[in-house]
Amino acid sequence: MAKRNTVLLIYTGGTIGMVKDTHTGTLVPFNFEYLLHQVPELKNFNVNIDVLSFTPAIDSSNMHPNIWEKLCKIIYANYNKVDGFVILHGSDTMAYTASALSFMLHNLTKPVILTGSQLPIGTIRTDGKENLITAIEIASTKKLGKAIINEVCIYFEYKLYRGNRTHKFNSEHFDAFHSPNYRYLAKAGVHIDYNYSVLQKASKSKFEIKTKLNNNVAILTLFPGISYELISTVLASKSIEAIVLLTFGSGNAPNDEAFINLLKSAIKGGKIIYNVTQCNAGSVIQGRYETSEQLASIGIISGSDITTEAAITKLMYLLGNYKSKETIKKMLLQNIAGELTN
């Protein structure tokens, strides 16, 4: 008989493991054993499922870099014991966690799949059962003795996405996530069809983790009429070391002298500014229009087609692991975990 593959199921919290409190009407975490009881199909899997549950469970709105560090250490401690990992996580910040883990987990040769649901798993129309079952199936699947997936992914509503290419775009429909700038990795139907041409290749180097993160970063979203006092306050903050500048269209921003001087002053003071588009799809191309050509000339870094979630976590990772600002700026332009298109 063929050896049964083993998946470590890590329950952090989220809607998939919630039940309605009869007194308050709010969703609260329940015992993880109840979740397994709700999915008897798991007993029919030819897969060993080990379970690790966070106590207390964490609402994804309370997600923090400390939790990402904890997840990395759990994966590292169990890496040689199991064939894949499934992390149950609230959907609201799932793209942030997936992006962060993609930078912190180095040289993966096994799948790390995050999933969850829009409805609690105990409700009649829940999407949680399918998401959980298929995520475990993908995490345990091998071809010619090797894992098909060798990266951090999100599985939701019949599609597997590269984790650091996703964002949550819908809070009401089951297809909560999109990956507009990168094709889905697999699609589940009668069979699971993998897009082999877009999958990360298994690393030949030894698996390792880098858990140092520096969260002295900020997001500055531009909008018509934004107060320059607000911009100045964010850029002048002594604790902030890097800013994701969410610009219009393909990286455009006001080109008046006062605004440009504020950016210049911040960069001269040692701050890193990363230009990321507010659009859900597309790419920053500094210089395409007059309203973006000055940004490159004063030292603002183009984020290309990176998501906001990946941009924030990439900055946290780079600031935490590299001292040289010039090195960080160069690496922001590079594709280091599949997060952007060169």
Per domain, the residue ranges of the chain are 5-209, 217-332
For the four alpha carbons of 85, 86, 90 and 96, in that order, the dihedral sign comes to positive
89, 118 contact by CB (below 8 A): no
| Pairwise CA distance, residues 142 & 101, whole Å | 22
pLDDT tens profile 289-325: 766 688 999 999 999 999 999 999 999 999 999 999 9
Residue 75: its pLDDT value, please?
Answer: 98
pLDDT confidence of 44, banded at 50, 70, 90? confident
Q: Residues 156-162: what's their mean pLDDT?
A: 94
Q: Please state, in angstroms and as integers, the Cα–Cα distance from residue 288 to each residue in 252, 283, 284, 295, 311, following that order.
A: 9, 11, 9, 11, 21
Mean pLDDT, the chain, whole residue set: 90
Taking the model in full, what pTM does it have?
0.93
pLDDT confidence of 22, banded at 50, 70, 90? low
**Chain mean position to CA 212:** 17
Which architecture does CATH list for 217-332? 3-Layer(aba) Sandwich (3.40)
Residue 38 has pLDDT above 80, yes or no: no
CATH number at 5-209? 3.40.50.1170
Both tokens assigned to 90: 């609230």
Residue 277's closest CA among 246, 313, 255? 246
Catalytic residues: 15
pLDDT tens profile 175-230: 778 999 999 999 998 899 999 999 999 999 999 999 999 999 999 999 999 999 99
Percent of the chain with pLDDT over 70: 91
Q: Residues 7-19: what's their mean pLDDT?
A: 83
